[in-house]
């Protein structure tokens, strides 16, 4: 039995300090050790100095350290290794080694791994600060509506449809409520019980996606279109659910609510490449989004670490590209350890997820990340690499060597045709997200074929200009299939793309205004506030990454992407929460990181700033469903 303990030594700021590893033999037999491998987002740099072992190499987050010849670890003994020169100074516990294993005479032995304890002088608090004050009013609505006028409250009520139209509508919302809160009390009845209130629905001229609720002896939900109808019924369902499940909440006896969304785009992004999430959980996430009146699911399906989307005619993309493991082209990278991780969706699962979203008013925006972030694709289709390109001629920010697909290879375009055909077939949404982020500036610099392609296209051979020419060609291919391009904010660099694109401003708050000025439609996803994988407090014990900053709940809630921007251009489409999944290896971690920040982004997307209230949100967000 082997256990890896670790600690951070902040010694030398010039090299970001050092990571000390101690591998203990906690069993009762000696163990021969050839090599230790571990995975960690705290990565040694290329100039790393290793004491106590030999640096054998690193593939992104996986590091291999050789043991001295004939090394044997006796019971109770440990092997100490120190690596100095690291990519970052760790600021949270989860940045240390996540998994480890050794090779012992050709056998793999997995190790348990201790947490990275705080280095001297590093604060361990505060961690996530999610107060639970008593609600200001005894009613639960999240997002909060534009106009709210209810003053009298009574006991919980079951909703009783008065006619066939209301009944059909309400049964769908009751089913959503049951899926989200299977153990909760019913909120709908078909019987004329004393604790029920009649509910009717009626069409009316209202703003897009808007609804009104009138409460008296009956509840009337008025709607302008199908989305408004659903939002209105979900609002009544939220009120009924809180009143029936928490004694602090009541059902209004009279009042009026008039509501419509602030923004068209109220999105959630989910990265399923770093850690996979199955179809059933994704459907539950869509249910949770609908309960928050969110309407765009941005599904990040491919990255360096895995390719999860089935493509007609290219089964190797998901077979090879959907598998990480020892002896596989893609090695373990995160908490999965030596056993690796396998996962991809079937065509039917993708269709089911898209259909499930549509049944809840949620459009699915698929993302295939191009041209960078493509280690998995290149592992599955190695003939797409230029064999004359120098190996490891550049590394992406995440440490992947030569990970951009090559526009100078004719085979690239054949594969892209197949990928775009499948995307257009599976996803009815108007836009397809093609990434465009984090292409290393030395990409293609040693590829003769890429340079020849740039020459043919009459663009400079810099990474930004090649990327932009590449994206424009991809955009045309999407347009040929009746789709428009969506991409990360880098798509505006190096010459930009067609302004009909939707671009996602992630690198800074300032990008939102800059992209709008360039004429793009913009979705605000600034990493500083809306990346749900960022730590939620300064404390060391917080799980999460910190590269975009610490994102405490109240700062996330208070952030207004539209502040200081002109309201009338229609260029700010909306807001989106993004969940990158390097550290999201279980449901509990997802929930800890996502909630209530996902709810905060939902309210930012819907509620006018003048109607927002942090204490009310803090109270009500505890009632929202989790994964
Ligand atoms: C991104 O966070 N690389 C879009």
In whole angstroms, how far apart are CA 473 and each of 39, 262, 417, 487? 37, 34, 11, 14
- Dist. CA 560–CA 532, nearest whole Å: 16
Q: What is the per-residue pLDDT for 127?
A: 82
- Dist. CA 222–CA 230, nearest whole Å: 10
Atom of ligand 1 nearest to the CA of 578: 2
Asked if residue 42 lies in contact with residue 86, where contact means CB atoms within 8 angstroms, the answer is yes
**Among 548, 420, 435, which Cα is nearest to 490's?**
435
- Dist. CA 294–CA 601, nearest whole Å: 9
Write phi, then psi, for 372 (nearest 5 degrees): -80, -170
The 10s digit of each residue's pLDDT in 15-25 is 999 999 999 99
Atom of ligand 1 nearest to the CA of 435: 4
The 10s digit of each residue's pLDDT in 391-413 is 999 999 999 999 999 999 999 99
Nearest CA to ligand 1 atom 2: 506
- Dist. CA 412–CA 336, nearest whole Å: 31
Asked if residue 322 lies in contact with residue 342, where contact means CB atoms within 8 angstroms, the answer is yes
- Pocket probe mutation, ligand 1, options 270, 503, 506, max atoms within 8 Å of Cβ: 506
Burial 353-370 (b: 16+ CB within 10 A, else e): bbebbeebbbbbbbbbbb
Return the DSSP state at 427: -
The 10s digit of each residue's pLDDT in 144-167 is 999 999 999 999 999 999 999 999
Residue 461 has pLDDT above 90, yes or no: no
**Beta bridge mates, 25:** 2
Residue 121 has pLDDT above 80, yes or no: no
Q: What is the per-residue pLDDT for 566?
A: 81
- Is the CB–ligand 1 distance for residue 297 below 6 Å? no
- Least confident piece of the model among 113-117, 286-290, 417-421, 565-569: 565-569
Quote the tokens at residue 508.
């800074």
Q: What is the per-residue pLDDT for 389?
A: 98
- Is the CB–ligand 1 distance for residue 438 below 6 Å? yes
- Ligand 1 centre distance from Cα of residue 562 (Å): 21
- Dist. CA 523–CA 278, nearest whole Å: 26
Return the DSSP state at 538: S
In terms of DSSP bridges, do strands 502-505 and 484-488 run parallel, antiparallel, or are they unpaired?
A: parallel
In terms of DSSP bridges, do strands 363-370 and 341-342 run parallel, antiparallel, or are they unpaired?
A: unpaired
Q: What is the per-residue pLDDT for 32?
A: 98
- Dist. CA 259–CA 434, nearest whole Å: 34
Residues 6 or more apart whose CB falls under 8 angstroms from that of 205 comprise 224
Asked if residue 574 lies in contact with residue 582, where contact means CB atoms within 8 angstroms, the answer is no
Taking the domain 265-609, which CATH number applies?
3.20.20.80
Taking the domain 147-259, which CATH number applies?
3.30.379.10
In whole angstroms, how far apart are CA 312 and each of 207, 381, 391, 533? 41, 14, 30, 32
Burial 100-111 (b: 16+ CB within 10 A, else e): bbbbbeeeebeb
Nearest CA to ligand 1 atom 3: 437
Matching CATH number, 2-113, of 3.40.190.10, 3.40.1410.10, 2.30.30.30, 2.60.40.290: 2.60.40.290
- Is the CB–ligand 1 distance for residue 506 below 6 Å? yes
Angle between helices 463-480 and 448-456 (to 10 degrees): 70
User: What pLDDT band is residue 126 in, cutting at 50, 70 and 90?
Assistant: confident
Average pLDDT over residues 199-216: 96
User: What pLDDT band is residue 302 in, cutting at 50, 70 and 90?
Assistant: very high
Residue with tokens 């300032």: 510
Asked if residue 35 lies in contact with residue 101, where contact means CB atoms within 8 angstroms, the answer is no
Atom of ligand 1 nearest to the CA of 548: 2
Nearest CA to ligand 1 atom 1: 437
Q: What is the per-residue pLDDT for 80?
A: 98
Cα 190 from chain centre: 40
- Least confident piece of the model among 9-13, 120-124, 306-310, 556-560: 120-124
Residue 120 has pLDDT above 90, yes or no: no
Residue 119 has pLDDT above 90, yes or no: no
- Ligand 1 centre distance from Cα of residue 396 (Å): 12
- Least confident piece of the model among 120-129, 485-494, 525-534: 120-129
Q: What is the per-residue pLDDT for 14?
A: 87
Residue with tokens 């000390």: 20
Number of helices (H), then strands (E), in the chain: 15, 29
- Ligand 1 centre distance from Cα of residue 201 (Å): 42
- Ligand 1 centre distance from Cα of residue 596 (Å): 21
- Pocket probe mutation, ligand 1, options 273, 403, 488, 581, max atoms within 8 Å of Cβ: 488
Q: What is the per-residue pLDDT for 13?
A: 85
The 10s digit of each residue's pLDDT in 417-430 is 999 999 999 999 99
**Among 3, 589, 609, which Cα is nearest to 275's?**
589
Burial 576-586 (b: 16+ CB within 10 A, else e): bbbbbbbbbbe
- Is the CB–ligand 1 distance for residue 488 below 6 Å? yes
Residues 6 or more apart whose CB falls under 8 angstroms from that of 566 comprise none
- Dist. CA 96–CA 117, nearest whole Å: 9
Asked if residue 387 lies in contact with residue 353, where contact means CB atoms within 8 angstroms, the answer is no
Average pLDDT for the chain:
96
In whole angstroms, how far apart are CA 435 and each of 487, 517, 521? 5, 21, 16
Q: Give the start-to-end residue ranges of the domains of the chain.
A: 2-113, 147-259, 265-609
User: What pLDDT band is residue 30 in, cutting at 50, 70 and 90?
Assistant: very high
Asked if residue 455 lies in contact with residue 507, where contact means CB atoms within 8 angstroms, the answer is no
- Ligand 1 centre distance from Cα of residue 193 (Å): 53
- Pocket probe mutation, ligand 1, options 274, 437, 440, 577, max atoms within 8 Å of Cβ: 437
- Is the CB–ligand 1 distance for residue 437 below 6 Å? yes
| DSSP E strand stretches across 131-217 | 147-154, 158-161, 196-203, 211-215
- Ligand 1 centre distance from Cα of residue 437 (Å): 6
């Amino acid at each position: 039995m082997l256990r890896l303990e670790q600690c951070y030594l902040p010694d030398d700021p010039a090299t970001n300090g050092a990571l000390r590893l101690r591998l203990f033999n906690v069993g009762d037999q000696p163990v021969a050790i050839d090599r230790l491998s571990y995975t960690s987002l705290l990565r040694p740099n290329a100039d790393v100095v290793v004491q106590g072992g030999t640096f054998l190499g690193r593939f992104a987050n996986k590091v291999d350290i050789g043991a001295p010849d004939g090394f044997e670890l006796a019971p109770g003994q440990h092997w100490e290794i120190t690596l100095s020169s690291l990519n970052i100074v760790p600021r949270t516990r989860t940045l240390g080694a996540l998994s480890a294993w050794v090779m012992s005479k050709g056998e793999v032995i997995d190790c348990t791994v201790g947490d990275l304890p705080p280095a001297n002088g590093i604060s361990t608090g505060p961690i996530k600060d999610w107060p639970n004050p008593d609600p200001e009013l005894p009613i639960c609505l999240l997002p909060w509506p534009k106009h709210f006028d209810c003053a009298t409250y009574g006991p919980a009520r079951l909703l009783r449809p008065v006619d066939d139209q209301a009944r059909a509508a309400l049964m769908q919302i009751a089913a959503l409520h049951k899926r989200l809160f299977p153990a909760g009390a019913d909120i709908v009845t078909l019987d004329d019980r004393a604790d029920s209130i009649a509910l009717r629905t009626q069409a009316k001229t209202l703003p897009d996606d808007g609804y009104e609720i009138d409460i008296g002896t009956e509840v009337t939900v008025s709607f302008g279109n199908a989305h408004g109808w659903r939002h209105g019924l979900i609002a009544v369902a939220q009120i009924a659910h809180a009143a029936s499940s928490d004694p602090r909440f009541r059902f209004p006896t009279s009042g009026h609510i008039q509501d419509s969304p602030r923004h068209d785009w109220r999105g959630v992004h989910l990265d399923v490449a770093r850690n996979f999430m199955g179809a059933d959980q994704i459907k539950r996430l869509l249910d949770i989004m609908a309960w928050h009146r969110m309407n765009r699911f941005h599904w990040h399906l491919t990255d360096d670490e895995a390719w999860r989307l089935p493509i007609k005619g290219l089964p190797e993309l998901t077979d090879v590209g959907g598998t990480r493991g020892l002896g596989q082209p893609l090695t373990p990278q995160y908490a999965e350890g030596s056993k690796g991780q396998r996962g991809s969706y079937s065509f039917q699962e993708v269709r089911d997820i898209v259909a499930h979203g549509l049944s809840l008013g949620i459009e699915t925006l698929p993302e295939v990340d191009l041209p960078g972030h493509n280690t998995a694709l290149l592992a599955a289709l190695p003939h797409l690499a230029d064999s004359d390109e120098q190996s490891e001629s550049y590394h992406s920010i995440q440490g992947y060597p030569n990970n951009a697909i090559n526009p100078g290879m004719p085979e690239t375009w054949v594969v892209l045709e197949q990928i775009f055909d499948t995307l257009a077939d599976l996803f009815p949404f108007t836009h397809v997200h093609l990434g465009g982020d984090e292409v290393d500036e030395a990409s293609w610099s040693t590829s003769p074929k890429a340079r020849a392609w740039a020459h043919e296209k009459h663009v400079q051979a810099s990474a930004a200009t090649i990327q932009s020419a590449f994206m424009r060609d991809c955009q045309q291919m999407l347009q040929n299939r009746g789709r428009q391009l969506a991409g990360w904010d880098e798509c505006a660099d190096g010459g930009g793309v067609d302004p009909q694109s939707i671009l996602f401003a992630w690198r800074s708050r300032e990008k939102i205004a800059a992209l709008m000025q360039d004429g793009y439609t913009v979705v605000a996803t600034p990493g500083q506030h809306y990346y749900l994988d960022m730590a939620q407090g300064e404390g060391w014990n917080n799980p999460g990454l910190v590269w975009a900053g610490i994102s405490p709940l109240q700062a996330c809630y208070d952030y207004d992407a539209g502040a200081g921007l002109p309201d009338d251009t229609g260029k700010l489409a909306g807001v989106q929460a993004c969940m990158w999944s390097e550290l999201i290896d279980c449901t509990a971690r997802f929930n800890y990181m996502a909630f209530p920040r996902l709810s905060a982004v939902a309210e930012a997307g819907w509620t006018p700033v003048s109607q927002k209230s942090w204490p009310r949100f803090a109270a009500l967000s505890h009632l929202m469903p989790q994964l």
